[in-house]
């Protein structure tokens, strides 16, 4: 790869979330609860040219190996994402994100009357459908712009 092509530096060790749907990189970070406030080294590439997709986003987290479970929640906003674990500059593990059966805690129900949005100690829980998510408490289904539900 030439200097001209390299947009985001390689990392030494950590996690590379690749093939993220263009435009979703910041949503990926907020869904993971990563905002840079604890000093971690984060690199984000947006609208980077890709072979498979016309454009993609890439998120690189230095010094942290995120778990597959932690990353599977991303499948609702970045279904084609690839998770690469990097050690000493080498990719030692590569996995696709997989749709989990349910997603708890990271999305907020858009129904204002839902028990999860009231002042109760109830964690949000959504069943993951083929084409959206359904609140397990009030049955509200969201199919479009699931990223707007991210509880940040
Ligand atoms: N990467 C990185 N730092 C490293 C090694 C890899 O940031 N030390 C990044 C690469 O830039 C790429 C991703 O991790 O975005 C996957 O690396 P690699 O498997 O080498 O690339 P490809 O073969 O192109 O991956 P794929 O087949 O998944 O497209
Ligand atoms: Zn609800």
91 vs 6, which has greater pLDDT?
Answer: 91
Distance CA 143, CA 102 (A): 15
- Alpha-carbon distances of 114 from 46, 117, 131, rounded to whole Å: 35, 6, 21
Query: Highest-confidence range of 50-59, 91-100, 114-123, by mean pLDDT?
Result: 91-100
Instruction: Provide the pLDDT for residue 53.
Output: 58
89 vs 5, which has greater pLDDT?
Answer: 89
The strand pair at 42-49 and 55-62 is best described as antiparallel
Share the mean pLDDT of the chain. 92
Nearest to 77 by CA among 145, 15, 128, 129: 145
Ligand 1 proximal residues by C-beta, below 6 Å = 10-11, 16, 18, 58, 60, 82, 84, 86, 89, 91, 94
Instruction: Provide the pLDDT for residue 89.
Output: 97
- Alpha-carbon distances of 86 from 34, 56, 65, 120, 134, rounded to whole Å: 19, 20, 8, 40, 34
**Protein residue closest via CA to atom 3 of ligand 1:** 10
**Protein residue closest via CA to atom 1 of ligand 1:** 10
pTM of the model: 0.91
Mean pLDDT, range 99-115, rounded to an integer: 95
Asked if residue 40 belongs to a known ligand binding site, the reply is no
Mean pLDDT, range 132-139, rounded to an integer: 97
Instruction: Provide the pLDDT for residue 5.
Output: 58
Asked if residue 120 belongs to a known ligand binding site, the reply is no
Q: How far is the CA of 89 from the centre of ligand 1 (A)?
A: 10
pLDDT at residue 60 tops 80: yes
Mean pLDDT, range 67-83, rounded to an integer: 94
pLDDT at residue 90 tops 80: yes
Tokens of 26: 């910041």
């Amino acid at each position: 790869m030439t200097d001209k092509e390299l947009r985001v530096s390689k990392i030494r060790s950590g996690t590379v979330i690749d093939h993220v749907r263009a435009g979703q990189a910041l949503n990926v970070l907020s869904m993971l609860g990563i905002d840079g406030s604890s000093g971690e080294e984060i690199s984000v590439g947006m609208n980077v040219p890709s072979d498979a997709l016309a454009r993609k986003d890439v998120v690189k987290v230095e010094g942290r190996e995120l778990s597959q479970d932690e990353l599977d929640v991303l499948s609702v906003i970045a279904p084609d994402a690839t998770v690469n674990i990097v050690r000493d500059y080498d990719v030692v593990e590569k996995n696709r994100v997989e749709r989990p059966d349910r997603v708890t805690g990271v999305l907020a129900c858009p129904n204002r009357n839902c028990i999860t949005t009231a002042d109760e100690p109830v964690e949000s829980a959504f069943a993951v459908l083929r084409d959206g998510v359904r609140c397990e408490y009030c049955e509200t289904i969201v199919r479009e712009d699931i990223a707007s539900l991210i509880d940040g």
